Amino acid sequence: GGRQVEPPEGHLALELEATGAHLAGLDLGERVDGEVRRISGSVLAGRTAHGPVHGYLGRYHRQVSVLREGRERELLGWLAPGTDKYSVLNTFLSRLVPGKKFAFTTSTQGSDRAIIPLGMYERIFPFDILPTFLLRSIAVGDVERAEVLGALELDEEDLALCTFVCPGKHEYGSYLRDLLTTIEKEG
């Protein structure tokens, strides 16, 4: 568990970098076993920064995030007690240890699933909107219902926590962007 990237000796974990800095050239003091993914921006709302075209700190991003690539597959992982897994729904034994730190990776632990209304969106959503119905309408592309439920008041970053807690592994930010683009074209 714990941090995947340690700062260089005598340096802070956060360093100021100019917008447009090439991320492959940054000295992040990486002491990591295996492959990492550099993200321009936050883990929740940033983008993968890789290659000669996209390997730079974005115009509106002020941080670089680094996660270990999660390429390992776990056979019947849902059967394990989950002492090292994070859960919003208290479904793993790790919830019995308050304050436990987790080593997050890029793995989504499986493929897309159905949207399951278990009340977790309501617990984390900061706006006075019915998030489950809104997210369902955004995911299926129901423009009229999404507008009535408040989709026009949101942007992609507002749905980042919903994407994080979603057991169905849906990317609500990209769904919202597609919906808002459709509304703009039709409008």
Whether the pLDDT of residue 77 is over 80: the answer is no
175 confidence band (pLDDT: 50, 70, 90): very high
More reliable by pLDDT, 107 or 61: 61
Of 145 and 56, more confident: 145
d(CA 101, CA 94): 10
- Assess whether pLDDT exceeds 50 at residue 2: no
Q: Say whether pLDDT at 14 is over 60.
A: no
The closest of 108, 166, 173 to 138, measured between CA atoms, is 173
What is the separation, in whole angstroms, between the first and last Cα of the chain? Answer: 49
Supply the pLDDT for residue 147: 95
DSSP letter, residue 22: B
Q: Is the pLDDT of residue 30 over 60?
A: no
The half-sphere exposure of 11 on its side-chain side, counting CA atoms within 13 A, is 13
pLDDT on residue 28: 59
The predicted structure's pLDDT at residue 61: 83
Phi, psi (degrees; rounded to nearest 5) at 22 = -75, 120
Residue type, 108: T
For the chain, the structural domain boundaries read 1-110, 120-186
pLDDT number for residue 166: 86
Local structure of residue 81 (DSSP, 8 states):
-
User: From CA 65, how far away is CA 14, in angstroms rounded?
Assistant: 10
| Whether 87 contacts 94, CB under 8 Å | yes
The yes-or-no verdict on residue 13 having pLDDT over 60 is no
The fraction of the chain above a pLDDT of 90, given in percent, is 24
Average pLDDT score over residue span 85-110: 75
d(CA 153, CA 150): 6
